[in-house]
């Protein structure tokens, strides 16, 4: 089983959005210590994929730009803005959208699946209606084969919140004074990746991927404890 999370930064919230940058991270759901492949662990030479898109290529292909998203970006942190701007240089130039999407699928197949000798893939995103929908449309628009089946799609947000509800229901069985279930309660049940890492910033695609992965991986371990004889290790 190979898990890969993708994250796009875009110029619109529409499935037809112009894509500014792409990040993808391969990860290990069954690892006890960390979900991330580390450089030098002998498993993956390239555990992440990152690319910035030449927006002129999105413009001439007819992808969507909207003013509200531009205004939203204007209010983001300087770190997030700089993460976009720093990558348009001679060593790491912005690439046409068709090249970026083709390279993304090439990385999945050659640098991850072939390297690990496993073809069973789950493609994750934060939400069910954004990154994967945009990727599918981009492939359709550009005539690139989208070789991921719908049964391989996974959604970090839904998985996490449903997992947290299972924890809440288990706690409520023994504690009838438990607080009401809410998303705010749910997100307090695991540690935020932002608390353990000083790399990247919100809306940097690689950072956002790792943040989603880290929360999901912790929730998987918590749910695993509920279904094992070691429930005392689950905490409360």
Domains of the chain in sequence order:
2-234 (3.30.420.10)
For 12-16, 67-71, 104-108, which range has the lowest pLDDT when averaged over its residues? 67-71
Separation between Cα atoms, residue 24 and residue 7, nearest integer Å:
6
Share of the chain above pLDDT 90, in %: 64
Residue 218 has pLDDT above 90, yes or no: yes
- Nearest 5°: the CA angle 209, 212, 215 is 145
pLDDT interval class at 229 (50, 70, 90): very low
Q: Which of 205, 181, 225 is nearest to 84 (CA)?
A: 205
Give mean pLDDT, residues 3-20. 95
Separation between Cα atoms, residue 193 and residue 5, nearest integer Å:
15
pTM of the predicted model, to two decimals?
A: 0.88
Q: Do residues 162 and 181 touch, judged by C-beta distance below 8 A?
A: no
Separation between Cα atoms, residue 221 and residue 136, nearest integer Å:
31
pLDDT per residue over 83-130, tens digit each? 666 655 566 789 999 999 999 999 999 999 999 999 899 999 999 899
pLDDT per residue over 37-62, tens digit each? 986 677 888 899 999 999 999 999 99
Averaged pLDDT of the chain: 87
Angle between helices 205-226 and 156-174 (to 10 degrees): 30
Q: According to the model, what pLDDT value does residue 230 have? A: 44
Q: Do residues 227 and 220 touch, judged by C-beta distance below 8 A?
A: no
DSSP letter at 181 equals P
DSSP letter at 43 equals S
- 19-27 and 48-52 beta bridge pairing: antiparallel
């Amino acid at each position: 089983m190979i898990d890969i999370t993708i994250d796009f930064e875009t110029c619109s919230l529409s499935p037809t959005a112009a894509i500014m940058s792409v990040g993808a991270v391969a990860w290990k759901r069954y690892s006890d210590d960390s979900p991330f492949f580390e450089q030098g662990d002998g498993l993956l030479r390239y555990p992440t994929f990152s690319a910035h898109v030449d927006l002129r290529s999105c413009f001439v292909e007819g992808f969507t730009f909207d003013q509200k998203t531009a205004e939203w970006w204007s209010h983001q942190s300087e770190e997030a803005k700089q993460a976009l701007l720093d990558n348009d240089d001679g060593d790491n130039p912005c690439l046409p959208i068709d090249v970026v999407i083709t390279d993304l699928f090439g990385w999945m197949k050659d640098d991850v699946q072939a390297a690990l000798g496993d073809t069973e893939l789950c493609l994750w995103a934060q939400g069910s209606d954004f990154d994967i929908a945009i990727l599918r449309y981009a492939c359709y628009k550009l005539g690139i084969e989208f070789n991921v089946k719908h049964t391989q799609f996974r959604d970090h947000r839904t998985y996490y919140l449903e997992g947290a509800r299972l924890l809440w229901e288990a706690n409520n069985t023994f504690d009838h004074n438990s607080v009401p279930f809410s998303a705010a309660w749910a997100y307090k049940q695991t540690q935020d990746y932002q608390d353990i890492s000083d790399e990247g910033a919100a809306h940097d695609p690689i950072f956002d991927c790792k943040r989603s992965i880290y929360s999901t991986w912790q929730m998987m371990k918590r749910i695993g404890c509920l279904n094992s004889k070691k429930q005392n290790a689950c905490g409360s």
